[in-house]
Structure 1
Amino acid sequence: MIRDYKQGRFVPQTFSYESLMKKRVKKHPSYLQPIYEAVSNSLEATSGKGDYVTIRLKVSKSSTPGKYEFCSIEVEDSGCGFNEENLSRFYQLFDESKNFHNLGSGRIQFLHFFEHTEFRTVYIENGKKKKRNIVLSIGFIGTEKTPIWEGFEQDATEEEHTGTIVEFFFPRDSKDKESYENLTTDELHDKIFTHYLGKFCIRKGNVQNIAFERYIYDAHVDTEDKFIQDDDIPVVDYHDEVKVHYKRINSTNDGLIKQKETETFKIDSYLLPSSVQKRNEIKLTSKDETVDAENVDFSFVSRAKIEEGKNMLCLISSDFLTNQDTDLRGKLTLYTKSQFLKEKNLFTLDESHIFIDDVQEEVTEKITTHYPAINKIKEESEEDIDQVVEDFSLDKDVIAAIGVKTGEKVSDFLERYYHSDADFQKDNTQRLKAVFDSLRTLDPSGANFNRKFNAKVKEINSLIPVKNKSSLSRYIASRKSAMNMLRLILSKNLECQLEKKKRKSNEKLIHDLLFKQGTIDTLESNLWMLNEDFIHFKGFSNFELRKLNDDGVGVLRKLDDKEKEQLTAYNKDMLGYKPDILLFPEEHKCIIIELKSDTADPTHYLGQAINYAGLLREFAKDEYVIDNFYVYLIAESFDFTSVVRTDPRFQLSQYMDYVFMPNANVYGGARGYGALYMEVLKYSTLLKRAEMRNSIFSDKIFGDDFDKEGEKED
């Protein structure tokens, strides 16, 4: 774009555009916003049928085949043009003479998105046809202290018709530039059609002819032309309205009271071809244009199938919504009840307010009543959330505070729940701390100590959320069940052990019970039966050595040809060995657990885990070198003395329930020897230890005589 700026003047401004762009009218998140702004201006400048608005996408071919370089985007209309009245309004930002909600701040988006925006306008002034050019550029501010240049007014020819062309050059952001280069007339047609559908429907019978054209090197590619005409505007499939009551805060500042005053919200639903309307949507509108609003989520309707080949677009309009529009056109300021109660400074407390969640609830009730398919999705969502509340014993007080949004996804509900629950927990934690701190006032030697102490315990218990108590009991029940499962496996009383055709091996059953094969989540395992700490370590259950990785990074180092030959000699594949369980408690340490059948002789496997340890020490990367190994070999039907007889390095424990090797060398090749500690024990011993550790809790829940009664029944 070449222009002689001497043939015009720079228009002084009384405020700083740079400050305005940083602090008040920030860049809109949608790259289409400047186009929307220009089209909105064109629709407002034209009367309707007989007028036109044309959007042109202009590109040139790039050196990359199939790729195009952005040239400009042009919006032309047949409106009245920039006469003196309109020009004056253009120069005076936030001028309310047009109407209260058209303050002209849309031009700030032009500055945010493009280096240069040019206006070429033809208009009638005092009965004569005139024309002028205007350029808007952020680059002018540095030298001219204004972003606006105005060309001198000239006489227009009879052939030139009134109207305005707005053309955008040089996108300021590379991502926006790429989006404009990839924009098609098809896509832009669909976006404009749905964005202004409310406006089009209101004007049906008097809609401007709207065209979308694409140019390559100024050559019109007419095969890509798209149009919006009056015949394209659909009829309303469903119309209704709801009245939403204003609410104000109560006298205790912790709740809301419904007022008599209401606002009316109109519902207009359209069924559009799925090629245009990609999914079911409910959108808010302001000034008959669809807008974005925080805290509004109707996404559940997208999952419904209303009619084959069509999707619903439901538009919600209200004077209230238009009044909430901001300087950032199309971004509404709306608040939920929970926001109001949490951040009361956002509002004037003595005023009444409309809350968007009330609007959402009332609209959803109407929509789900009219469309059974949407109602079905709503009910399924409610059932899913009810199930989650039950499964996870969620706190009813927290749920009452945050509410359940209609059709809300479980993931979104849980995110809101845990965010709010954190606040509840914080408050409870402070109160619990105060009670615990008050224990210092008690005297254990005092006559009433037990009564006062028990009163403190009762108070502490009342502050523990029900869900925490339920979680604890469920956790203990899970442990009790796991121990009973191990007992049943060892006694061969599981049904899967008794079926001849599908009989499962005891070794596999025990392995999967303790730590599911092929998994790495130790927190979900039952390794606490062996040692409480084991569930907190990084772990691998039945993984090949070569497939061990730390957050996607392989543990073993790169091997040379000689090492590869050594590891595959005699038809072996040593790095394909699968230790039953590997745990890594901290740097340079490793726990190896080998689980054998309850009928296996562990003396045949004493060297197996030591071999695994040697491979890990010799072939791990430098940052994963292991110096100390702790090995547990577990079986059932054997004699401890046979283990000691096979390898005299083993010693009998003091309680005769396991044997251990206090220290042995682990071969590490060029790295030298590592150290190894090893135990051989029985599953029955493991089970007994686990029961002793957990009995203090399980007895409180199930009763001291629970296991005795079970034994009597057996």
Structure 2
Amino acid sequence: MNSKAYINLDGAMRIIKKSNNPLSPIFEAVTNSLESIVYRKESDDSFEAFVNVKFVYKTNLDESKELDCIIVEDNGSGFYSDSYDRFVEFFDKSKGFGNRGSGRLQYFHRFDLVKISSFFSESEEFKHRYIECYKDRFISKEIIEVSKEKKYFTSVELCLPILSEPDRSVLVDSNFKSVFESFVHHFLLRIYLESKEGLGAPSITLSFVEDGKETNKKEINPENLPEPIREGVIDIPYCSVVPPGSGKTRVRFEEVEAENERLNWACFEFSDTDLNLNKVYLCSKDIPVKSIGNHLFNKKDTFDGKRYISVFYGDLFNKPESVTDSVDEFTFPSKKEIRSQAEGLFFDFSTPLIIEDLLLDRISEKLNSIYDFISEIIESSQANVQGIAKAHGIPFHLISKSGIRISDSEKTITSKLYACQAKELAEVGYRAKKIYDGLVSMNPTSETYQNDIKEKAKELSKLVDDQNKEELSKYVIRREMVVNILKKILDEELDYQKKPVQGRKNKDKEGLIHDLVFKRKSKSTNSTNDLWILSEEFVHFEGCSDIQIDKISDINGEALLKPVPHEVVTELGFKKTGRPDIYLNPGEEKCLIVEFKEPDTDLSDYLNQMTKYCILIANYGVKKVTSFYCYLIGENISPYATLDGDYKKTVNGDWIRANVTIPTMDENRHTIANAQVEIIKLSSIAERAHRRNLSFAEKLGVTDLLKE
């Protein structure tokens, strides 16, 4: 009648699964020490309590570090008879503190041997109990004897570690600071509440010992831990699960107004040197069980050198049925799980439930008010990030995906935004390629061809986000403004042209037009220009503006011309110091030259100017050039009176000479290159640019904005 059933240790470990947290066996041992100290304080409140935790390492022959054992020491009540009986009997809940009587099973999930040495007082005498516990035989050795030393001291030694790679990353490879911070996180709330209740929480000393030498040591002192800067409560409602009605296929969830659970919360503030990460914890029995995300800011953000831990705790989380047996997850069902279960015949629709989704939503909402004191900092930071994103033309929706922290510099923010954009563009590019690959199915002879290609275009357009469409609209509008400025220069309507300046000649139209298209003295097309107004392709070419021809070089610093003998220049009447208005290098043995002239200048007087540049470059160029494209741009030309028969009228009303031979500079005069010379009116350029802009504007729906 008085006999007890025995439980198989291996079977118990199959029921109580291994905790996800590698530190859980150490935390369990420290928790037992804290509870043992509370027991002793019930009869003696005069002693100075302590808990020591030692991580003992050894160095292997290959100089790798190995965990030897972990020792937890305290001066609590010790393993007296009742305490020992509870230790031997699994699932004994008589200890109190809401214990399950199963925590020590976590020892054997990561360690093969547990040694316990305990000095305690019982029956008015001090005793010493020594225990060795193995996974395959729980109590393999027990010695109890009267102690000559009158002291309270218990040591729990976790030996013969059996560690997985994740275990090693925490128990072996982690640095002392990260382990110490984990202890602060884990026991912060418990120490605070015990101090608040007058229980006198002890200090916890953590140390690393390597090859017998103490390398790190630090104390978690209750007096030095912060108290909450804010505290409060939050109500968590129960929900009733409503079965689907007629014609509906999903269950519904309705809050039960009369029923709710109340949780407490507290927010602790740390210096960023003492706390590496901001955290939000849900706690059971005053220790963290689950870490949840904070939608307001990132884990590593700092605010005036501060970081924060917020904890939520209360009776709801302390109930045994609310937490898994390994005490590393809560058991509240999600809406998805309930919907799946509700399809069964025996689901109980009559019992209201605490639902995980609603619980986390309420806590997330509460964080808004908990951290309202830093909301201005957050809003200012968000506005700054949006400004940086806008300045670089990066869509706002990428901000949340970029991992930006409030403490990030502008350079770091920009780098993260571009990295995130590159990743998204790669995905968009892949999807765009799939659309283009689908063009092989298009059949221009089909009656549905126009609709088919229109649908393909719509599909591709969806890949362009709204912000980039807005930026494209701004770009088209700006281009039209450039066209309007060109027209005003020709009509002398700019205020700059109307205001007289004595002794200065910088108000000539040629100079204004030149600077409008491509700023004079510009050494590279990498600088801002509006070459598109001449031709869309020009913006992609390397080149320069108004640079002396013998000073022109490419992006690698290689000169355009070889040294030209002075006598050659003099004899042939060239000016190697001349400056083409615009020089562009399209590559592939090609060269492009643009010359602007005053609108009232007769362009026919300058037909040979660019040909001289072509002869000089073809004969003395560092790199071979065989094709030249020359553009003479002004407004005044009498083609029928001044142009020879080789010039033909273009569809735009301009004039082009398609084949001008470029000879060698010797008596043989062999043809070594060909040039094409085009004469274009400024008014024609303005009209063509306007037509292109209008075509874009119609597609974007901004034609009204192109009107003056």
TM-score bracket, shorter-length normalisation: 0.5 to 0.7
RMSD over aligned Cα, in angstroms? Answer: 7.1
- Report the equivalent of 2:90: 89
Shift of 1:528: 6.7
Letter matched to residue 233 of structure 2: E
Kept after mapping to 2: 8 A contact 1:122/1:131 = yes
**Aligned mate of 1:122, from 110, 117, 120:** 117
**Aligned mate of 1:237, from 212, 229, 235:** 229
Counting matched residue pairs gives: 574
* Partner Cα distance (1:344, 1:497) in 2: 77
* Partner Cα distance (1:545, 1:104) in 2: 78
- Report the equivalent of 2:158: 166
- Report the equivalent of 2:175: 183
Q: 1:357 to 1:172 in 2, by over 3 A?
A: closer
Q: 1:174 to 1:283 in 2, by over 3 A?
A: closer
Q: 1:609 to 1:273 in 2, by over 3 A?
A: same
Kept after mapping to 2: 8 A contact 1:120/1:131 = yes
Q: What SS does structure 1 have at the residue aligned with 2:261? A: strand
- Report the equivalent of 2:45: none
Kept after mapping to 2: 8 A contact 1:658/1:681 = yes
Equivalent positions of 1:390-429 (< 5 A) are: none
State whether structure 2 residue 199 is matched by structure 1 residue 200.
no
Q: What SS does structure 1 have at the residue aligned with 2:223? A: helix
* Partner Cα distance (1:70, 1:664) in 2: 82
Letter matched to residue 228 of structure 1: I
Shift of 1:192: 1.4
- Report the equivalent of 1:153: 141
* Partner Cα distance (2:467, 2:65) in 1: 62
**Aligned mate of 2:310, from 284, 305, 314:** 314
Q: Deviations over 1:69-112 (max 9, x none)?
A: 4454523134756946535639x9xxx998469667745873xx
**Aligned mate of 2:362, from 349, 359, 364:** 359
Q: 1:121 to 1:393 in 2, by over 3 A?
A: same
- Report the equivalent of 1:377: 377
Letter matched to residue 363 of structure 1: K
- Report the equivalent of 1:439: none
Q: Deviations over 1:187-243 (max 9, x none)?
A: 54343123321111112243233112233420345xx43222332343333211122
Shift of 1:257: 4.8
* Partner Cα distance (2:471, 2:523) in 1: 20
Q: Deviations over 1:225-269 (max 9, x none)?
A: 322233234333321112244566897659875442433232212
Kept after mapping to 2: 8 A contact 1:300/1:378 = no
Letter matched to residue 687 of structure 2: K
- Report the equivalent of 1:217: 211
Equivalent positions of 1:7-406 (< 5 A) are: 13-14=10-11, 28=20, 33-47=21-35, 48=37, 52-59=50-57, 69-72=65-68, 74-78=70-74, 80=78, 83=84, 85-87=86-88, 89=90, 99=99, 106=106, 110=110, 118-122=113-117, 130-134=129-133, 148=136, 152-155=140-143, 158=147, 161-167=153-159, 169=161, 172-173=164-165, 176=168, 180=172, 183-184=175-176, 187-204=178-195, 205-220=199-214, 224-246=216-238, 257-260=254-257, 261-278=259-276, 281-290=279-288, 292-293=290-291, 295-299=293-297, 305=303, 311-320=307-316, 330=328, 353=355, 354-355=357-358, 358-368=361-371, 371=373, 374-380=374-380
Kept after mapping to 1: 8 A contact 2:592/2:629 = yes
Shift of 1:272: 3.4
* Partner Cα distance (1:359, 1:88) in 2: 40
Q: 1:395 to 1:301 in 2, by over 3 A?
A: closer
Letter matched to residue 358 of structure 2: F
* Partner Cα distance (1:240, 1:377) in 2: 23
Q: 1:229 to 1:606 in 2, by over 3 A?
A: same
Letter matched to residue 227 of structure 1: E
Which of structures 1 and 2 has the bigger CA Rg? 2
* Partner Cα distance (2:620, 2:486) in 1: 28
Kept after mapping to 2: 8 A contact 1:635/1:681 = yes
Q: 1:226 to 1:352 in 2, by over 3 A?
A: closer
- Report the equivalent of 2:687: 688
* Partner Cα distance (1:377, 1:88) in 2: 54
Kept after mapping to 2: 8 A contact 1:74/1:168 = no
Equivalent positions of 1:619-638 (< 5 A) are: 636-637=633-634
* Partner Cα distance (2:375, 2:654) in 1: 63
- Report the equivalent of 2:402: none
Equivalent positions of 1:510-589 (< 5 A) are: 510-511=517-518
What residue ranges of structure 1 are gaps of 5+ in the alignment? Answer: 1-10, 111-115, 137-147, 400-406, 427-441, 444-452, 549-555, 557-562, 571-578, 618-627, 666-673
Q: What SS does structure 2 have at the residue aligned with 1:231? A: coil
- Report the equivalent of 1:449: none
* Partner Cα distance (2:271, 2:329) in 1: 27
Q: 1:301 to 1:38 in 2, by over 3 A?
A: closer
Q: What SS does structure 2 have at the residue aligned with 1:275? A: coil
TM-score by length of 1: 0.56
Q: 1:327 to 1:546 in 2, by over 3 A?
A: farther
* Partner Cα distance (1:494, 1:375) in 2: 48
Kept after mapping to 2: 8 A contact 1:267/1:363 = no
What residue ranges of structure 2 are gaps of 5+ in the alignment? Answer: 1-7, 39-47, 344-348, 399-405, 432-446, 546-551, 566-581, 599-605, 663-671
TM-score by length of 2: 0.56
